[in-house]
A and B are shown apart, each in its own frame.
Chain A
Amino acid sequence: GNSVTQMEGPVTLSEEAFLTINCTYTATGYPSLFWYVQYPGEGLQLLLKATKADDKGSNKGFEATYRKETTSFHLEKGSVQVSDSAVYFCALSAPDLKTSYDKVIFGPGTSLSVIP
């Protein structure tokens, strides 16, 4: 079945460091890919998305490129800030063969702490 794998956390970085959070997926067909972010005490919110191969999603300095050949959607940011401390979830959306609805599958999340 479809699945999403993320790098284990927690990740701790100093302010202005480069961030990479790895995400790989397994899916039949052509899923759409998302990164959601969860700030402390809040619900998830969409950070960026890509709907087809080679698309690059970007928002708030974060970027991720849909790589079909490596089934990956790694999240990157060139210079992190303390305010980026949060949990980041990779997710995919693909048709569910049992229901014919698109099903969203979330990865386990990666906790990021940025220290001054």
Chain B
Amino acid sequence: DAGITQSPRYKITETGRQVTLMCHQTWSHSYMFWYRQDLGHGLRLIYYSAAADITDKGEVPDGYVVSRSKTENFPLTLESATRSQTSVYFCASSEWQGAPYEQFFGPGTRLTVL
């Protein structure tokens, strides 16, 4: 199916464990993004990527690592999960950056760190 998918949709893990959230898009969009959504904070950008092998930090990158070896995939890794990383994570893609190009969002991954 065309679109942007995320896996897993739900994840429960323990403090200190490594977790990887997957994101896959079928449009060959150049730009991909990772956001976290928390009550009271709205959406905050963690990392973004302009193309394969090009990534850059967003607003809240600490504790996260990304890679982009292929255009269609943009995994997000929590190297050592902390309770403060409990959140809903959204991946998005865009043909180009900024206006007037919209971002297309995946369905989200709800992560709970115990």
Q: Does B99 contact A (CB under 8 A)?
A: yes
Q: Which of B42, B105, B107 contacts A41 (CB 8 A)?
A: B107
Residue contact A104 to B42, C-beta cutoff 8 Å = no
* Chain A binding surface SS class: strand
List A residues 75-116 near B (Cβ within 8 Å).
89, 93-95, 99, 101-104, 106-109
Residue contact A51 to B108, C-beta cutoff 8 Å = no
Residue contact B99 to A46, C-beta cutoff 8 Å = no
For the complex, what is the distance from the CA of A104 to the CA of B100, rounded to whole Å? 11
A-B contact pairs, 12 of them (CB 8 A): A34-B102, A44-B92, A49-B99, A51-B100, A89-B42, A89-B43, A93-B98, A99-B56, A101-B50, A103-B45, A104-B98, A108-B40
Q: Chain A: residues with CB nearer than 8 A to chain B?
A: 31-32, 34, 41-46, 49, 51, 89, 93-95, 99, 101-104, 106-109
